[in-house]
Structure 1
Amino acid sequence: MAEAQGAFEKNLAAGEVLFKEGDKGEEMYLIKSGKVEISNNAGGVKKVLAELSEGSFLGEMAIVDDAPRSAAAIALSEVSLLILDRAAFKAQLQENPMVEYLISSLVKRLRETNEQVKILLQKDDVCRVAASLLAMGREKGAPDGSGVFIKGSYTPEGLAKQVGVSIPKAKDILEKMQASSLIAFSPEGIKIPSMPDLEEYWRYATLKEKFKEI
């Protein structure tokens, strides 16, 4: 039953997935009844971020900035939702440009914070450095041939502080990554020749850390 223009209801059974991390977001949700678990994957490990109940809303970040879902949502019980799609949400925001700007800025800051937390939760130094470079490539990288270029004055020392790795260790990791043609430093910035290759390297490092005792 529609309650407002662009809004409609949806029911979920216990255990049903509402959306997955990385999905494209077209809608935001208000929980009318029931409970929903919010989680993400940090270094191959599921991390429960919150359990939301009646009156809570979720999914708003993806419809504000058009970025993929930053977390997954699954029903912990029978759930009734009120859904507002992107068009209706944007129409409301456009009535007040200042509110639209503030919300967009807050969402951008939250995404950056979430990404940094995911990086810092990884115990292995190689994983942290690779994950940080991947995040920079996605957020700041401009297309450059088959890869991306991150413009700016980046140094191993600065990246070490950013991800909580010692400077000598960060230099060693970055030198090995450059030798493997995964990245290339220049005075103008950092070139990532292939984002898929860098992501594969990060996944390899993550699995190596996860199963190192086997």
Structure 2
Amino acid sequence: MSVKTFKKGEVIFKDGDKITSVFLIQSGGANQCLIRGKKNIDLFQLGASHILGDQIILGQATHPTSAIATAETKVLEIPVDTLKQHYEAAPQMLKVIIKSLADRLRLAVNDVRSSRLEKDSSPCPEDQVAKAFGSVFHTANHKGDRSQAGRVIVDWSMMKQYCQRVMGESPKRMEQAVNILVKLKLALYEMGKSPDNPDGPDEIQKVHFLDLGLVESFFEFYQYYYFKGGRSEILKVDELCQQMLNGLLKLTETETPDRFGVVGVDFAKFGEYCQNEIGFKLNNDHFSRLEQKGVFMKRRTVGNGVLLQFEFKEFRSIAQSWRMLREIDKWNEKGFVDMDEKEEKPKKKSGGPSCPACAAELQASAKFCHECGHKITAAA
């Protein structure tokens, strides 16, 4: 156990971060909140003698909320392993009481979280994402014209009306959701003159959906993990995981899947890709990080090597969902979907010190990784 001091405004941890320690506030205070882009949604104000990270008692691996110091705050940092030792050594009756109180607190936090999110003024709040894209899918699926192979074509005016009248979705939010699909090349607009203003500028007349299946996969993926307690961290985009997943898809894009839709890539080849293209040395911790995000693959020994096997269609769907999540985050930050934004290429690691567990870049004097909390062992 050790004492740490956080300055006013300093982030103690973010929602979705792995719980590596529990913090007992000794002095100062913390704002338990949700960080959404450049703004915070406040939940609770905590002070001396309050605990942060107690969800670990219920087996939750990641923080469901963020914590920001509201003043110069001194905390006692208790490693998870130490806390578990004390908890397991406690009398059974006390353990039952502690777990009951922790569970009741979890329910209270979830209620407050839901209440605050309902008042969230973001263009697309978390609890509305599945509804927005579900409305787009079901409208296109029900009303779309499938006469052209590989496309579902929907009249734009009719789509806005149907989404609003039947699905109860805001036309503005629906339009921005479709903009994301167009930006990601999952749909395209057919432009033309309005019948009411033939001399005016071109306007959207129809939407051509090029892959409705991926739209359905996204909102089903989102609603499943968002409303499933303790699993919403899967919806937080991890840049490193995204780069690894893109690498796996790139290395197998020319492979022919077997009858189960499974493809394979040599472990050494993938390790070489990670080293050369992303800038880190692949190890088992990286696979654990992918699994925490719901990305699983089979490792099979073949001859003198190891083959990584996975379902290509499933991985492609997950990768697309992560791309859409990134666009939704940008939408909430800017207030609109920037159709003219240039795609940024992921930055390769600089080659400096990095965490052996998650490959995040580190400062030379760091004792713990700021991303995953891994303890950094000093070089001999």
- TM-score under structure 1 length normalisation: 0.56
Q: Quick one: structure 1 residues 22 and 126, their matched pair in 2 at CA, closer, same or farther if it must change by over 3 Å? A: closer
Letter of the structure 1 residue corresponding to residue 21 of structure 2: E
Question: Which residue identity is paired with 1:182?
Answer: V
- Tell whether 2:125 aligns with 1:129: no
Q: How far did 1:129 drift?
A: 3.0
Cross-structure match for 2:87: 93
Aligned length: 171
Paired position in structure 1 for 2:100: 102
Q: Partners of 1:17 and 1:191 in 2: how far apart?
A: 29
Name the Cα RMSD after superposition: 4.2
Change (3 A) 1:44 1:77: closer
Correspondence for 1:59 among 27, 47, 53 = 53
Q: Which runs of 5+ in 2 are unaligned?
A: 134-163, 182-210, 223-316, 338-380
DSSP-derived class of the 2:76 partner: strand
Structure 2 letter corresponding to 1:199: L
Deviations 1:171-211 (A, max 9, x none): x96xx7883722249xxxx4673230341353355356x25
Q: Mean alpha-carbon deviation: is it higher for 198-207 or for 77-86? A: 198-207
Corresponding residue for 1:202?
328
Given that residues 65 and 104 in structure 1 are in contact (C-alpha distance below 8 angstroms), is that contact kept between their aligned partners in structure 2? no
Q: Would the alpha carbon gap of residues 107 and 37 (structure 1) be closer, same or farther in structure 2, given more than 3 Å must change?
A: closer
Q: In terms of Rg, which structure is larger?
A: 2
Query: 1:49 is aligned with what amino acid?
Result: L
CA distance in structure 1 between the partners assigned to 2:51 and 2:96 by the alignment: 22
Give ranges in structure 1 of 5+ residues lacking alignment: 1-6, 135-164
1:168 aligns with 2:201: no
- Per-residue deviation, residues 101-150 of structure 1 (Å, max 9, x unmatched): 5356446535654653464234478544326799xxxxxxxxxxxxxxxx
SS at match of 2:2: strand
Aligned equivalent of 2:33: 39
Determine the structure 2 residue equivalent to 1:84: 78
Alignment CA distance shift 1:103-1:46 (3 Å): same
* Identity value in percent: 18
Letter in 1 for 2:18: K
Task: Looking at secondary structure, tell me which structure has more strand per residue.
Answer: 1
SS at match of 1:74: strand
Letter in 2 for 1:197: R
CA distance in 1, matches of 2:117, 2:166: 17
Q: Does 1:182 align with 2:215?
A: yes
2:25 counterpart SS class: strand
TM-score (norm 2): 0.35
Q: Which has the higher contact order (CA 8 A, sep 6+)?
A: 1
| Residue of structure 1 in register with 2:20 after alignment | 26
